[in-house]
Structure 1
Amino acid sequence: MTSVAFLKGLGLGASLIMAIGSQNAHVLRMGLLRQHVGATVLVCIVCDMLLIAAGVAGMGVLIQHSPLLLELARWGGAAFLFWYGLRAWRAVLGNDSLAVAAGQAQIPLRQALLTVLAMTLLNPHVYLDTVVLLGSIGGQQPADSRLWFALGACCASALWFLSLGYGARLLAPLFAKPLSWRVLDGVVGSVMWSLAAVLALSGS
């Protein structure tokens, strides 16, 4: 049971965090520029872990004692996942790619930290993903599995940001092409819709 909860948290966390957004774009950009990668990645991981833990702990207790909130969380989570998947599939039809400035001057560490904190904490999707969605789904797990669900989601965050930040230099030629982002968005969209269907059918 614990391994299932861990893998569930890992899979859902990975699906949510892989969606292209301002935070991921910033981490990728810093990785491509090879500037303050460690500090940038660490801030993202720590913020995600704190928000996931708060979501699972708080929402879990709240939902457990309220069948109405449980149903709202289930259908709200399914709708949210569907919307995220729809957004990813819409991006598949777009023509966007990340342009990284070449030869940019060294960014001061303080500025780099403030920027990544703003990208993380001022982004409403971060709270929707971690506190609301992961928190509500984590709260539906059995009491002895919630910790493992949260650990799985935290591991997904750590693995993603470490890979994105330190692997960016290897991906620079690839992700200059819009087709690469389309493929990634297509995978994310498919996973999100699959999870939405599983969540919607879990109460039937």
Structure 2
Amino acid sequence: MIAAAATGFVTGFSLILAIGAQNAFVLRQGLLRTHVFWLCLLCATSDALLITAGVAGFSTITEAIPALPRIMAIGGALFLLAYGALRFRAAWIGDYEMTLAGQSAGLWKTLATGAAFTWLNPHVYLDTLGLVGAISLGFAEGGPRLAYGIGAVTASFVFFFSLGYGARLLAPLLQSARAWRILDIGIGLVMWALAAKLLAGLA
């Protein structure tokens, strides 16, 4: 049971460790120190639902709807392009008075954006429904497989809350409009690179 849980934790943590659109958004919100708890809870809970579905064998949905990955890839790419453009626009305008004051979009808008980053990302389905679900088949049904799933879910909660609240350690480095402009340009580049990767996969 312990080995299964540890495997689930390591698997789940390694899959979400890479810098992605969702992680970049959580990091930025953590730097702003606003709506951090609810955003982290949303991301971790979403992962938990997808991991549970993957471990339960729900990955067959992509087999039943072959066009779903392509539809999600197009939708996700368009969203990433739009959000990246917003970050470039913010960097171009350079009006960071509200940002430096720790203000951001409202709670519901922040959560809606976080949900879009999560549920419009085709890779999250590959990771959770596909990879996590496939690895779970190596454990016997019942306790061991349940422990594996719990380990993977725990990894998501540990990661997102660590990222969201750990971001404040970088706050001293972001006390100027120039620093935030560089951060937004970096995030915009990440978003567009991910969008290009999604679109390239459709070719």
TM over 0.5: yes
Shift of 1:139: 2.1
Deviations for 1:124-156, whole angstroms, at most 9, x for unmatched residues?
Answer: 111111111101111221113110000000010
Aligned residue in 1 for 2:121? 123
Aligned pairs for 1:73-152 within 5 A = 102-103=100-101, 105-143=103-141, 144-152=143-151
8 Å CA contact 2:9–2:154 kept in 1: the answer is yes
1:11 is aligned with what amino acid?
Answer: V
After superposing on structure 2, the runs of 4+ consecutive aligned residues of structure 1 that deviate more than 2 Å are 99-106, 171-178
> What is the alpha-carbon distance in structure 2 between the residues aligned to residue 174 and residue 129 of structure 1?
33
> 5+ unaligned residues in a row in structure 2: which ranges?
61-90, 184-203
Pairwise CA distance, 1:174: 7.4
Identity %: 50
Structure 1 CA distance for aligned equivalents of residues 131 and 102 of structure 2: 37
Q: Greater CA deviation, 157-166 or 137-146? A: 137-146
Query: In structure 2, what is the Cα distance between the partners aligned to 1:57 and 1:33?
Result: 37
Q: Which amino acid aligns with 1:18?
A: L
Shift of 1:171: 3.3
What CA deviation, in whole Å up to 9, does each residue of 1:22-75 have, x standing for no partner? 000001110001110011001001100000000001159x7xxxxxxxxxxxxx
* TM-score normalised according to structure 1 size: 0.62
Summarize the alignment of residues 13-52 of structure 1 with structure 2, pairs less than 5 Å apart: 13-52=12-51
Instruction: Look up the SS of the partner of 1:145 in the other structure.
Output: helix
CA contact (8 A) 1:59 1:136 kept: no
AA of the residue aligned to 2:108: R
| TM-score w.r.t. length of structure 2 | 0.63
Contact 1:3 1:148 (C-alpha < 8 Å) held by counterparts: yes
